[in-house]
Amino acid sequence: MALLPILRFPDPRLRKVAAPVTNVDDGIRRLAADMAETMYEAPGIGLAATQVDVHQQVIVIDVSESRDQLLVLINPELLSGEGMQVGEEGCLSVPGVYDKVERSEKVSVRYLDLQGEARTLDAEGLLAVCIQHEIDHLQGKVFVDHLSMLKQMRIKSKLAKQARITA
Ligand code: K1U
Ligand code: ZN
């Protein structure tokens, strides 16, 4: 397994739209394992392939406190969303930035598992938020896109300043 470098906002590669996986093979299983290792090490509760510069529809999620409930969703597709919740979000591609985002309270998602079998998952609360956040990444969206233009400008200048300091 390997730790993968995570792209940082506003890297234009975060805007690429991921392609569906056509064959769930050992390459995809290796990618999912590397993404899981990267997510646990970060640490984070989710990671989309887009964030590690792989533009295929793969996400990994673990919102459990015990950190042993890994979910791998290939070609995830939102079937329905219900209700509304507003929660604080962060993003491994936007380090140090947290803000409130409005999301569906409950979602139903169809996906392929690591054996290529079609499955459906009903989720609510933090798991539902994380699924929506990661599917956004696969579509080239970052959570800051849900914030006002003023906040987006402030975040860009904060991250540019951080990058200058660490360069
Ligand atoms: O996609 C990502 O960038 C991962 C992101 C997922 C996420 C967080 C919060 C709401 C929605 C989606 C993160 O994991 S940020 C880090 C984080 O939230 C966290 C890290 C360690 C323990 C608990 C949470
Ligand atoms: Zn993110």
Q: Compute the distance between CA of residue 30 and CA of residue 13 in angstroms, rounded to an integer.
A: 22
Q: How many domains does the chain have?
A: 1
The reply to whether 37 belongs to the active site is: no
**From the CA of 133, how far away is ligand 2's center (Å)?**
6
Specify the ligand 1 atom closest to the Cα of 90.
15
81 domain-assigned: yes
Ligand 1, pocket residues at CB < 6 Å? 43-48, 89-93, 129-130, 133-134, 137
43 domain-assigned: yes
* Residue pLDDT, tens place only, 65-103: 999 999 999 999 999 999 999 999 999 999 999 999 999
Containing structural domain, residue 120:
12-166
* Residue pLDDT, tens place only, 36-55: 999 999 999 999 999 999 99
Chain CA centroid to CA 81, Å: 18
1 domain-assigned: no
6 domain-assigned: no
CB 136 within 8 A of CB 143: yes
* Residue pLDDT, tens place only, 115-154: 999 999 999 999 999 999 999 999 999 999 999 999 999 9
4 domain-assigned: no
Q: What is the CATH number of the domain that holds 48?
A: 3.90.45.10
5 domain-assigned: no
Q: Compute the distance between CA of residue 57 and CA of residue 43 in angstroms, rounded to an integer.
A: 21
- C-alpha distances (whole Å) from 161 to each of 37, 136, 167 are 29, 26, 10
